[in-house]
Chains A and B, each alone.
Chain A
Amino acid sequence: MDGAWQGAQGALRQRARGGRRGKLAAVAEFDSVGLRYGTGAEVLRDLDFRLGAGAFYFLTGPSGAGKTSLLKLLYLAQRPTRGRVRLFGEELSESPREALPPFRRRIGVVFQDFRLVRHLSAFDNVALPLRVAGASEQEIEGPVREMLAWVGLADRASARPPTLSGGEQQRVAIARAVINRPELLVADEPTGNVDAEMAKRLLHLFSALNRLGTTVIVATHDVGLISATPGAQLIRLENGSLVDPTGVLKNPPEDQWRG
C-alpha cells in the first residue's frame, strides 16, 4: 500500500501545484469569536487566533472544551454568535449563505464518524466534491481512482460504506476530503476509530498533504500522534477558551508558516 501512496503523492503534488490559489498570510483568522447554541451558555469564548497558510496544527483539550465547535466554525457548518471569522482573506461571519459554497469547496473535512453516504459506492463518495464542483465524468474518473489507490482502496472502489471496515471508511473519508485539493484540511478525531497502525498511516497522509501546501488542523486527544509530528503547532482549548498565554496564536511569527 505504501508504494501506491507514494506513487499517488506525485500526482497529488502535481495537482496541488496547479491548484494553489496564491500565497496567503493566514488561512483563517478568528477575532473575539464566541459561540453559543440557542440560549445556552457560550461554548466558545473570545477566540483570537490565526492559522498560517501551510502550517500543521493539533487542536487539543479535554472533552467538552469546544474542539468540535471550533472546527465547525472553521468548515463553515456554524456561524459565530459574536466576533469575526475570516477564511481565505474573506470575512464570512455574516456573509449570506449563498456565498459560502465556494469557500466550503476549498476546505476538506474528515469526521470521526466518517459521514459517508451509505448508498453510494466508495468511488461515488470520493467523487462527490468534484461532481459538486462541476467536473465532468471524464475529469473525475482518473483522479478518484488515483486517490483511492493512494489510500489503498483501489480494489474497493465499488464497495458501499456498510461493507467497509472502520479503517477503510476512514480512508474513503480522507480521500473525499482531499480530492478537491483543499487549502485547509480539518480533521475531527480522525484516529478515534482506527487502530494504531492505521492512525500512523493517516498521520503520514496528513503530513504528506501538508508538505504539499495544505494547512492542516487535527483535533485529537492522541498524545502519540502529536509527538510523532515534529513541527506541528498546538492549539489548546479549555472551557471554550484558547490557552495562549504568550499570544503566539494570535500573532504568530511569520517564519512559523510555510505558506
Chain B
Amino acid sequence: MARMTFEWLFPSASERRLLGGGKLRGPTPWVIAIMSFSIMIIAASGLALANTAALLTRAIEARYSLEVPNGGADLGGLVAALKSSPGVVSVDVVSQNEMRKTLARWLGPAAKNADLPVPALINFDTGPGADIALLQKRVKAIAPEVEISAHRESVAPLLRSLHLLQWLAFGLVVLLSGAAAAAVVLAARGALDTHRFTIEVMHGVGATDLQVTHLFQRRIAVDAFVGSVAGAAAATLVLLLLTTGATFAGELTGGATLGAGDLLILLAIPFALTILATWVGRTAVLAALRETL
C-alpha cells in the first residue's frame, strides 16, 4: 500500500524522460532554500524567545521583594517574620555592598558615599500555601513603611513584549510558508506551460490527470526537498555560529537555549516545507489540468 501511495516518488527511467531536462532547473529550489533558511532562523528565534519567556516566568512567578526604606533597622525582625510565615521557601537579604554596586551604575562613585541613604532589600520566594496578604500584615506590623512587590508585576511589560515577538515569529513563519507555496504554484504553472505539448500528447493517448500530475509532483518534491534541506543546513550553521561563536553572539542571544523538542521542531521544518510544496504543486497541476478536456 505504501508503495502504491508513494509510487510516484520512484518513477522509471522512461517516466523521467517524459519531461526531459535534468533536476534543479529553474529558480524553485533556490527560492525554497531562501524561504527554508528564513523560516528556520525565525522559528529558532521564536522558540528561543518562548523559552526565555518561560524561564523568566518560572524564575519570577513566586519571587517577591521587600523594600525597607530606613536602611535595615528592622531587618532582623522582618527576616524572622518572613522565615516563620507559611509558604515562604527562601529568604535572601541583598547586602548593602550589592545595593551600592547596583546604584553605582546610575550614581557613579557617589553611590559609595556613606551619607547616601540606601534602602535594604529582602528577596523571598514562596511556595504552596503562601498568603501574601497575611505576610503584608505581618511585616507592616514590624515596619509600617515597608512594601512587598511581586517581581512578575515589574517584568510584565517585558513578558508581554516577548510573547508579542513570539507571535510575530509565528506569523512570519506562516507568511514565509505561504510565500514558498505561492512560488511553487507559479513554478508549477510555468512547468505546465513549458510541457503543455507533452501533456496534450499524453492526454491524447489516454493518460489520466493523475498520471500527468505524478510526473510534475515528483519534480516539485525533489526541488522542494533539495531547496529546503539546503536552506535548513545553512540556517543551522548560522544558528550554531550565533550560539557558540563570538562573544557578541552571547549578548545577542541573551543565553537563550533550545531544548530537544525545539530541535525536533526545527528539524521537521524542511520536511514540512517539502510536504507543503508537494501538496500545493500537485493541487495546482490538477486544477490546471481540469481546465482542459
Contacts and interface: CB of A to CB of B under 8 A. Distances in A.
Interface of A: 75-79, 97-98, 100-105, 109, 115-117, 119-120, 124, 127-129, 131-133, 137, 176, 180
Given A77-B204, A137-B12, 11 more contacts: A105-B205, A109-B204, A115-B200, A115-B201, A117-B198, A119-B17, A119-B20, A120-B18, A133-B206, A137-B14, A180-B205
Interface string B187-228: 000000000011011111111110100000000000000000
Nearest to A119: B20
A105 B15 CA distance: 18
Contacts of B209: 97-98
Interface of B: 12, 14-15, 17-18, 20-21, 197-198, 200-209, 211, 290, 293
Contacts of A101: 203, 206-208
21 contacts: A77-B293, A78-B293, A79-B293, A97-B209, A97-B293, A101-B206, A101-B207, A102-B206, A104-B203, A104-B205, A105-B206, A115-B201, A115-B204, A119-B17, A119-B21, A120-B18, A128-B202, A132-B207, A132-B211, A133-B206, A180-B205
A10 to B, nearest CB: 25
Nearest to B12: A137
Given A117-B197, A132-B211, A137-B14, A100 B293 contact: yes
A176 B14 contact: no
Given A97-B290, A124-B17, A137-B14, A129 B197 contact: no
Interface hub of B21, B197, B203, B206 (most chain A Cβ within 10 A): B206
B207 to A, nearest CB: 4
A180 B207 CA distance: 13
A33 B12 CA distance: 42
Nearest to A123: B14
Given A117-B197, A117-B198, A119-B20, A128 B205 contact: yes
Contacts of B207: 101, 132
A102 to B, nearest CB: 7
Q: Sorted from nearest, which 9 A-B pairs have the closest CB atoms?
A: A105-B206, A119-B20, A104-B206, A129-B205, A132-B207, A101-B206, A101-B208, A132-B205, A117-B198
Contact of A176 (B15, B17, B205, B211): B205
A176 B197 CA distance: 16
Contacts of A100: 293
Could you tell me the dominant secondary structure of chain B's interface residues?
helix
Contacts of A109: 204
Contacts of B206: 101-105, 129, 132-133, 180
Contacts of B290: 97
Given A97-B290, A97-B293, A117-B198, A75 B204 contact: yes
Given A78-B293, A79-B293, A98-B209, A128 B17 contact: no
A131 B203 contact: no
Nearest to B292: A97
Contacts of A133: 206
A68 to B, nearest CB: 14
A101 B197 CA distance: 17
Given A98-B208, A101-B206, A102-B206, A131 B15 contact: yes
B50 to A, nearest CB: 47
Contacts of B204: 75, 77, 104, 109, 115
A148 to B, nearest CB: 16
B205 A127 contact: no
B198 to A, nearest CB: 5
Nearest to B13: A137
Contacts of A97: 209, 290, 293
Contacts of A104: 203-206
A109 B201 CA distance: 10
Contacts of A137: 12, 14
Contacts of B208: 98, 101
Nearest to A134: B211
Contacts of A120: 17-18, 20
